[in-house]
Amino acid sequence: MSRLAQQFLAVLMVLAIGSTAAMVLAAVPGPGPGPIPPALRPPLPRPPRPQPGRPLPEETAGPQKGYGSGTVRLTVDAGKTAGRIRSLLGTNRGPLMWERGSDEPRAEFTADLKRFGVDFIRTHDFYGPTDWYV
């Protein structure tokens, strides 16, 4: 049976029955359309043209030969420690959130912040009470 005949029967089922099952059958996709004709294909990107006197990108990629006098060789030993690194994991509000209405209780998030490892609270980046509140 052709795809057109299948779609026609599915539409008739929807009109005749009006059930959800018929609508599902009508929505089942068939085989997709064929390949895009060459006349309708978008153009391929053109490779970059080198400017006169400039090398191609392939000739300049990778480490440079002959390091300059300002080059410094740096080696990092990750096995040694020199101190504690401060955490950047923080929040803009403290563990006490003010109530939204008179009948709502104040939320308290101290245990949750500790569980997630939040150990830094920015007290200047939020709208509300001053830093003494948080």
Query: Between 112 and 58, whose confidence is greater?
Result: 112
Residue 105 domain-assigned (yes or no):
yes
Cβ neighbours of residue 89 under 8 Å, at least 6 residues apart? 116, 117, 118, 119, 120
Residue 65 domain-assigned (yes or no):
no
* Domain boundaries, position 126: 88-134
| pLDDT tens track for 21-32 | 544 544 555 556
Residue 74 domain-assigned (yes or no):
no
Q: Are 93 and 134 in contact (CB under 8 A)?
A: yes
| pLDDT tens track for 69-127 | 667 777 878 788 777 766 666 666 666 665 566 677 667 777 887 887 777 776 665 55
Which tokens sit at 10?
A: 């599915």
Residue 125 domain-assigned (yes or no):
yes
Query: Between 56 and 25, whose confidence is greater?
Result: 56
pTM (two decimals): 0.26
Residue 80 domain-assigned (yes or no):
no
CA angle 91, 130, 132 (to 5 degrees): 85
Residue 39 domain-assigned (yes or no):
no
Residue 62 domain-assigned (yes or no):
no
| φ/ψ of residue 38, rounded to 5 | -55, -35
Our count of domains for the chain comes to 2
The average pLDDT across 8-29 equals 58
Asked if residue 64 has pLDDT above 70, the reply is: no
Cβ neighbours of residue 134 under 8 Å, at least 6 residues apart? 93, 94, 95, 96, 121, 123
| φ/ψ of residue 91, rounded to 5 | -140, 160
pLDDT at residue 30, as a whole number: 56
Residue 120 domain-assigned (yes or no):
yes
